[in-house]
Amino acid sequence: MAVNLENKIDRFERVAIVTGANSGLGYEAALAMSQRGLRVVLACRSPEKAETARRSILEVVPQGKLELLPLDLKKMASVRSAAAEFRRRHDRLDVLVNNAGIMYPPYAKTEDGFESQMASNCFGHFLLTALLIDLFPDTPASRITWLSSSAHKSGKINLDDINSERRYSKVASYGQSKLACLMYALELDRRLKNAGKQIRSNSAHPGGVISGLSRNMSQTALQLMKYTILPFVTQPAAAGVLPILEAALAPSAEGGRYYGPQGFLEMKGPSGRATIAKQALDRDVSEKLWQLSERLTGANYHGMT
């Protein structure tokens, strides 16, 4: 059921991290959270772009409390450095929006040996969350929100070739990465509940939003779609961010849930509960993915089983 987001958001100063906050959905999330009184940490790969985003937000919210945090999610050393820097500045974290990502790049391996989409979209966020999770107050207002996509519905977790070393499809790898993000959200929420914690882990997707993620798509195809199907299945980033804000800020948003647009094919429209594909609910694969991710990244979730 569609909801009125403004009536659901708890308004008091908290500390939030938004990854990839310099553009697109990340920027809109940082702006909206700043407007709602949160102290927002813009965790971005490019300090210059992050500073430009900070200044832009301050033009809208002159009293906004904004910080920059260098973070390159493709590099696990950068993730560890960013987490350590955040801990030097803060002794608590209330909201973490694991937003940043890439889509459809040519095949490339990171310095850690990971396929670039899995590194940027999944492994970096998995490690970052582990390094900061003990800073969250044990309250339902503490949120960890993972960005997924309708692409998760066609995704498949290839545990035997998670980094696509034997065969690479940019579309299949993206689908795998978005499925993995949703599975991380659900699995983490189960583990938090098992540990007796009130912290909520959930996921959201923006529906159809044309953003910087589309830079690797065929521009000819995009132009063709612009005048045919895109008006029916896309919406501005400012609308696409609403499910993210619901998941991360609304008191009624639950852990272990998935939020997205409620309109045609869940691609646009008001925010509400979204459909989770069957494969995302596979507990056996989820646990194996979690264990594999821990081993690959060195993440330690402080005994949460």
Q: What is the dihedral of CA 32, 34, 37, 41, to 10 degrees?
A: 130
Helix (H, G, I), strand (E, B) or coil at 68: strand
- Tokens (6 digits) for 69: 């945090």
Catalytic residue among 27, 174, 184, 259: 174
Residue 105 DSSP code: P
Give the 3-state secondary structure percentages of the chain, helix then strand then coil, rounded to 5.
45, 15, 40
Does the annotation mark 27 as catalytic? no
297 sits in which H/E element: helix 283-297
DSSP assignment string, 10-51: --S--EEEEETTTSHHHHHHHHHHHHTT-EEEEEES-HHHHH
SS (H, E, C) 173-239: HHHHHHHHHHHHHHHHHHHHHHCCCCCEEEEECCCCCCCHHHHHCCHHHHHHHHCCCHHHHCCCHHH
Active-site amino acid positions: 174
